[in-house]
Amino acid sequence: MQITFSLNHQTIEIDAPADITLLTFLREHLGVTGVKDGCDVGECGACAILLDGQLVNSCQLLAPQADGREIITIEGLRAADGGLTDLQRHFIDDGAVQCGFCTPGMILAGEALLAKNPTPDREEIADALAGNLCRCTGYIQIFDAIAATARERQAQTTTGERP
């Protein structure tokens, strides 16, 4: 069916098959390969996207469900100057990346959390990542990267700088 949606800040009008998942649609039809296929049953979070700002597993939606929505994938997450966001930079600086397969979903989960709760404690960070599996890092350095980003954004807010 014909759908219109926003993908990484660009409006797309396209014919979307009704019988494939949004994950398959993004990867195979639109070439958005930062969205990963880890389990196809909504358990691992590697396919996570931001749908109208909410963290969702794209393997659990059908392609036409994108109609009228705004989707952000890792490819759409960039700083105003086109470079790394602060969270992406902290993922590098704090060692939150190993194999990198879960990383796009983790970063999007971090952004979804910080949008709702700009000052999360460790427990709130861990809970926000409950739907994103990582087999390499033991999550600890991912917690560190999100916490460091939250602190930095808070400091910028209080000093009047724009994040």
Which region, judged by CB under 8 A, interacts with other proteins, from 9-17, 60-68, 84-92, 151-159?
A: 84-92
Question: Which residue, 3 or 44, has its beta carbon nearer to other proteins?
Answer: 44
Secondary structure of residue 23 in the 3-state scheme: helix
Question: Which residue, 59 or 66, has its beta carbon nearer to other proteins?
Answer: 59
| 92 lies in the site for other proteins, by CB under 8 A | yes
Secondary structure of residue 132 in the 3-state scheme: coil
Q: 3-class secondary structure for 110-149? A: HHHHHHHCCCCCHHHHHHHCCCCCCCCCCCHHHHHHHHHH
Quick one: residue 107, left, alpha or beta (phi over 0 = left, psi -120 to 50 = alpha)?
alpha
Size of the site for other proteins (CB under 8 A): 54
* Helix pair 86-93, 103-116: axis angle to 10 deg: 130
Say how many C-beta atoms besides its own lie within 10 A of residue 130's C-beta. Answer: 9
CB of 105 to other proteins, least distance (A): 9
CB of 16 to other proteins, least distance (A): 17
Tell me, what amino acid is at 146?
Answer: I
Asked if residues 119 and 155 have their Cβ atoms less than 8 Å apart, the reply is no
Secondary structure of residue 51 in the 3-state scheme: strand
Which region, judged by CB under 8 A, interacts with other proteins, from 49-57, 63-71, 74-82, 150-158?
A: 74-82
Choice from 15, 52, 67, 127 touching other proteins (CB under 8 A): 127
Say how many C-beta atoms besides its own lie within 10 A of residue 9's C-beta. Answer: 10
| 74 lies in the site for other proteins, by CB under 8 A | yes
Choice from 33, 62, 152, 163 touching other proteins (CB under 8 A): 33
| 30 lies in the site for other proteins, by CB under 8 A | no
Contact residues toward other proteins (CB under 8 A) are: 27, 33-41, 43-44, 46, 73-75, 77, 84, 88-89, 91-95, 97-104, 107, 123, 125-143
